Every structure is written in C-alpha cells, then in structure tokens.
Structure 1
C-alpha cells in the first residue's frame, strides 16, 4: 500500500480511511489472483506493500498452505495488518527501494503500491525484485492505478495549483504496457499485461473525496499545515472542500443521485 513515507510527504497512512471502501478496493486483488489460474499453488509469497492486510487476507484464503510475508513502510498499516492473525503469515516494516525478499519466493504480489515510487525508480525496483527469485521459477504479479489523467486526479493537481493548496507532491504517471513488457521480458519467459477500467458507484461527490483521502489525496493534504500550525485556520479542510467542488463539475450525477467513479488499473504478471 505504501512505500517510503518521505516520497509522498505523508507522516503515515490511515487504515480506517483506506478500509472504508474495502470491497471496492479488493476487486482488483481478486482479479489479479484469478488470472494466475486455479492450479497455481505457490509455497512462499511476499505481499509487497500489504497495507492494512486486506490483500494478505485474500492471498491467505486462496493459498492456505503458503507461507506469506507482508511488508509495508507504514507503521499504522502494519499495526492493522497484524490484527488479522493469519496463520503462516508475518508482517514486517520495509522500504521497497531497498527491500530484498531473498531467493525462494514463488510469488511476489503487489496491490497498488508501485505507482508511489518515482518513475526513475519504478522499473529498476521491479526488475531487482524479479531477479531475486530463483532462475527458472517464480512470478511477479502487481497492479497499479492508471489514473493520472482521470478527472479525479486532474482535479487534485488543479486544486493544489492554487490556494489553499499552492503546491503539489512529486507523483509520476505510470509506464505504458510496452515499457513494462520491454523491461521485464528479458528476465522471464512471459509477461502479460492488461488494463481494467473499474466503475465504482459512489453515494455523492463527498464519497469520492473520502475514497481519495485513503490514498491519492493524502500526499497533497500532508503538504498543508494542520490547523494548529496555521493560526487555527483549517487549511486542509478548505483544500478538501475546494477539491469536492471541482469534482462536482467533473462527474455528473446519475438519475438516482449517485456518482460513477471510473478507476482504471494496470495489471502486469511476469513469469520467470
């Protein structure tokens, strides 16, 4: 779920906020695991960026006999993950930039984490992790949101470009399928990649704000001073309200008053 905190400006992540939309966020996890097929049976799994443990729980349910290690950089997320009390599972704090899972891992799995790395670090980190697996075996399976140009994320940058934002974090769009293929294929026998555009039904525009507060908005909000640092002025809430107003212009309401949030995700599976 999260990488080095300094890369996003966040002090830590909120498991409760993230899990407000657990079922919707879990859809991509189920889809990525399903692609591996019913006969796929890894003995050792590393869940890279495990967040609050929702992805680890699904992995443990699908592969009950596997030994699983979940890693994340967020202490708060790991505290939540450890409450899952999963058998054959351990959780540890680590930074993807330097983490070494060691040889013998059959499946390196990652749900929505590599997009937090800067573009210059992303493919080198993926390649390094892939090469830790024993030659001739192992799978790297990950998905990342591909929403840099979606209205929800364009509105974040536009809100950050003027007060009360006036700054924005260093976040890069993800690579194309061809870039992932060209980078990973020399090191493995096959690479599969696809994009799924999920459509989430949200109660209103405020619900999109709550969704984004658990992930994409946090680096923006954490660059702003807290109320006690701004003379009692709640700059963060002002930013969120300005963002909500922009969303109202971007997303029309359905006839029942709800709002449809399109959320594309890029999937990549590399087989050693």
Structure 2
C-alpha cells in the first residue's frame, strides 16, 4: 500500500492468477466463530475481500487500504457489502476492531519501502498478531520472487547509465523476509504457525504478458517517476525486450514462475 497511485484496471488484468494464492491461503485457515470479525488489510480493489466473503458469508468484514482508487473499485466491483476504511496498514491499529481474523493478500511486501528498517516489517506482523482475540487467526501471503529476472532485470535497468539519475534511487521497492523469519516472528508472538512456500508456473497469454503483469505491481512506482511520455515509452521498450528474452513465449503461452510465501498463525 505505497503512496503512489494504483491502477485497479491494470492490477485486475490478471485477477484470477493474482487471487489463486489467496484461495489456497484461506483454505488452510482454521474454523472461526459464527459471524466473525474479519479484516482484509491491503484489500486493494476488493477481489481479496470477495474471497473472504465466500469463505465466511456471515462475517463482519472490513477492507482497509490507503488507495482511494482501489477502495472505489472495491465498493462497486469487489465486495459491495463489506465496510471499507481508507487507512495505512503501517500505522492503523486493528486492535480496536477486536478481530477474529486478519488476512493480508500480497500487501506486506510494500510495507518496507526502500531504505527503511526491514525489522519494522516483522514488528508489524507481531502487532497484527497481538491485535487478535485469543484463538484468532492471522493469515498472509507475499511474493517470494524478488530474485527472479522480472525483478533483477528491472533493478539493473534502473541502475544503468541511462536511467540511474531518474530511477536509481527513490522509487519504492517491494521486499520480503525469508519464510523462516516469518515463522520465528509468529512463534514469538505467542502463536502457533504454519509457514510454507509454493511456486506457481503461471501461463500468461498475449503480447509482452510479463511486462503487463509487472505494470500492475512492481513497475507501478517506477513509471510514476517517468513523467515524460517519451521517457516512459523508451523505458518500457527496453524493459520489455529484456523480459521477452528472459521469459520467451512458447507454443501455449509464456511461462511465468511465481513463488509465494504463505503463513497462517493462530493466537494461543
């Protein structure tokens, strides 16, 4: 949930692929009380909130995000019967909601911006766990593919002589911790915890599909710094060429390995 604008349309271009890990995360969550209080932190355009409504039809469900554009889409096309709150998950305290469950789908990676102390990221996980009612559940999933070509090529291009001054520093970068660090943090927060990893071999269709994928997430803060349309097109052309080489199209589409880190924790 970074400060620069999100584009709900671009993000939802691969809605099924982006939501699949959430379905698997929610399936591993233990049973909740009747009419539970469930928070969707970093709800974005509400596709994740809709999944939570499917799992708990009678839940008191609140989606939290710091993008007004995303929340506008969530209220109409996501889960219109949920409550929504414009707030920053880094500073908003969920304890007042007395949640039975906190779910965060692909949000935590944005909560340690470039240059920040990564320990703050784990402190946030511990604070969310502490906000749960006894027996409450914290579940989150984040990407684990920051060493993949989609990210390393972007970093290399940003640091090149052509783009270093405009993009080398300052644009937000997402990042996560090792799965073992999440496990230790959750255990230290007086929770039982199940942490695992999965790599999806996502099959993408169409021209430059990996470029279109990252436009909705990792590339978004970079493009926000390129205000000249000519510069933007030049950068996209260079990055697109690198991605086509790294992820060549095959007979059935373009295979995009997509590693995810999952965690489900229950407060003792």
Q: Say whether the fold is shared (TM-score over 0.5).
A: yes
Structure 2: distance between partners of 1:130 and 1:150: 30
Structure 1: distance between partners of 2:79 and 2:258: 30
| Cα 1:158–1:15 shift into 2, 3 Å | same
Whether contact under 8 Å (1:188, 1:270) holds in the other structure is: no
Per the TM alignment, residue 66 of structure 1 is displaced from its structure 2 partner at its CA by 0.4
Per the TM alignment, residue 97 of structure 1 is displaced from its structure 2 partner at its CA by 1.3
SS at match of 2:182: helix
| Cα 1:163–1:77 shift into 2, 3 Å | farther
What residue is the counterpart of 2:68 in the other structure? 75
| Runs of 5+ unmatched residues, structure 1 | 228-233
Aligned length: 256
Verify: 1:240 aligned to 2:233, yes or no. no
What residue is the counterpart of 1:177 in the other structure? 179
Structure 2: distance between partners of 1:41 and 1:24: 30
Q: Give a deviation string over 1:47-79, Cα, whole Å, max 9, x none.
A: 000000000011111110001000101111011
- Higher mean alpha-carbon deviation, 40-49 vs 164-173, is at 164-173
Whether contact under 8 Å (1:4, 1:96) holds in the other structure is: no
Structure 1: distance between partners of 2:238 and 2:26: 38
What residue is the counterpart of 2:115 in the other structure? none
| Runs of 5+ unmatched residues, structure 2 | 113-117
Whether contact under 8 Å (1:111, 1:144) holds in the other structure is: yes
Structure 1: distance between partners of 2:109 and 2:162: 26
Whether contact under 8 Å (2:172, 2:222) holds in the other structure is: no
What residue is the counterpart of 1:50 in the other structure? 43
Whether contact under 8 Å (1:199, 1:260) holds in the other structure is: yes
> What are the within-5 Å matches in structure 2 for residues 56-135 of structure 1?
56-84=49-77, 86=79, 88-101=81-94, 102-118=96-112, 119-134=118-133
| Cα 1:36–1:87 shift into 2, 3 Å | same
TM-score (structure 2 length as normaliser): 0.89
What residue is the counterpart of 1:230 in the other structure? none
Whether contact under 8 Å (1:57, 1:84) holds in the other structure is: no
Structure 1: distance between partners of 2:196 and 2:236: 32
| Cα 1:163–1:52 shift into 2, 3 Å | farther
Per the TM alignment, residue 107 of structure 1 is displaced from its structure 2 partner at its CA by 0.6
TM-score (structure 1 length as normaliser): 0.88
Verify: 1:14 aligned to 2:7, yes or no. yes
CA RMSD of aligned residues (A): 1.8
Structure 2: distance between partners of 1:85 and 1:155: 33
- Higher mean alpha-carbon deviation, 150-159 vs 163-172, is at 163-172
Per the TM alignment, residue 253 of structure 1 is displaced from its structure 2 partner at its CA by 2.8
Whether contact under 8 Å (2:49, 2:78) holds in the other structure is: no
What residue is the counterpart of 1:268 in the other structure? 263
Whether contact under 8 Å (2:146, 2:152) holds in the other structure is: yes
Verify: 1:148 aligned to 2:146, yes or no. yes
Per the TM alignment, residue 130 of structure 1 is displaced from its structure 2 partner at its CA by 1.4
What residue is the counterpart of 1:138 in the other structure? 136
Residue number among 224, 245, 250 corresponding to 2:246 in the alignment: 250
Per the TM alignment, residue 188 of structure 1 is displaced from its structure 2 partner at its CA by 2.6
| Cα 1:53–1:20 shift into 2, 3 Å | same
Whether contact under 8 Å (1:67, 1:88) holds in the other structure is: no
| Cα 1:22–1:13 shift into 2, 3 Å | same
